[in-house]
Amino acid sequence: MGAEIAALMGFFGITGAFALIGTVLAGWMAWRIVEKAGLPGWAGLGSILLSLTAVGAIVPLILLWIFAYMRWPRDEPASASPGYAPSPPRGSPPPTGPVALAPPPAALPDGRGWKLTGVLGNGGTVSLAVYGGPATYALTGALAAAPTDLSVPDPSVGQPHARLMTAGQRLGLEDLGSPGGTFIDGARLLPEHGPRDISAARTIRLGSVELALTRA
Amino acid sequence: MGDPVSWLLGLSAVLLFSVVIGHVLIALLLIIPTWRICQRAGFSGALALFHLVPLIGSFIVMGVLAFSDWPNGEAGPQRPVTGR
């Protein structure tokens, strides 16, 4: 009986040892893999150790799917990830000849806004500035009552007439159904069209007021 | 009633089939995300098929990903951001 018990204990001991070694190895490899993707290594180790807890293998499996489809810091532009650097192959000798130049820095974000300029029906001029940050502006024929109101004081312009939206480097325009109509480079924009990207447009027309669109 | 040996053989065949199908289904849950990880790292997605190998398959895939250089580049070591 004693021999059987000893054999059983030995079997479980060996199994346990293999499980321990496997867990440590998997944790180490997971640490290295997530670090190569730009994430902290402990996240990989933690996901492996989670399989030892009551949540079993489900949570690590979910984390594996998240890791596969998430945005990796490695893929971020250099400016957003200061630690990023293409790593040279391990084990390669140090360069002895001319050293390659560092890659150029990422392009600076274009922080310019837009400018709308035009001539009113009464001969006056209008010049409106739209800044680049994410915001929504109302193009209206009334006087500006809010900082986000852009006044085009002309009888043909509705109150409000249209909506301008900025997001990053894009500028959008949405008609609000004013009788005078809204036109992008001569093409009619209807309310049912929804917001349209006018970042590359040259002119927009509100009623009878034509506004030239340029970058500020 | 048939021969008991035939019964046992039939039962074991069904069990074996169920185990294989179950193994493939579970492996699929691992293969799909691992396929994408391998491709993003620059390896062939087919490397993820090692998950079909029982017991050691996952270790082989993880070992390749962990201990070889990624053709698509790796993030550098985590360094604290120092202001200048």
Give tens-digit pLDDT for A111-167.
678 889 998 888 888 888 887 666 888 899 888 888 888 899 998 998 889 998 888
What long-range pairs does B30-38 form, CB within 8 A, spacing at least 24?
B30/A61, B30/A64, B30/B58, B32/A65, B32/A68, B33/A64, B33/A65, B33/A67, B33/A68, B33/A69, B34/A64, B34/A68, B34/B61, B36/A68, B36/A69, B37/A33, B37/A67, B37/A68, B37/B65, B38/B65
Give domain limits for chain B: 25-68
Give the whole-number percent of chain A exceeding pLDDT 90. 15
Claim to verify: residue A21 and residue A68 sit in the same structural domain: yes
Mean pLDDT value of segment A185-214 = 88
A196 and A124 in a common domain: yes
Question: If you average pLDDT over residues A28-55, what whole number do you get?
Answer: 86
> Does residue A70 fall inside a structural domain?
yes
Nearest to A72 by CA among A47, A43, A108, A46: A43
Residue-level pLDDT at B51: 92
- Quick check: A30 contacting B, CB < 8 Å? yes
Residue A93 has pLDDT above 80, yes or no: no
- State yes or no: ipTM above 0.95: no
Residue A9 lies in a domain: yes
Cβ of B62 and A29 within 8 Å? yes
A-B Cβ pairs (cutoff 8 Å, strict): 80
Q: What is the mean pLDDT of chain A?
A: 80
For residue A78, the tally of other CB atoms under 10 A from its CB is 15
Angle at A94 between CA A90 and CA A96, to 5 degrees: 150
A109 falls within a domain = no
Task: Provide the number of structural domains found in chain A.
Answer: 2
Indicate if the pLDDT at residue A80 is higher than 80.
no
Q: Which of A75, A95, A128 is the last residue of a domain?
A: A75
The residue ranges of chain B whose pLDDT is under 50 are: 78-84
Residue A84 has pLDDT above 50, yes or no: no
Q: Which domain range does residue A186 map to?
A: 114-215
Cβ contact, residue pair B59, A29, below 8 Å: yes
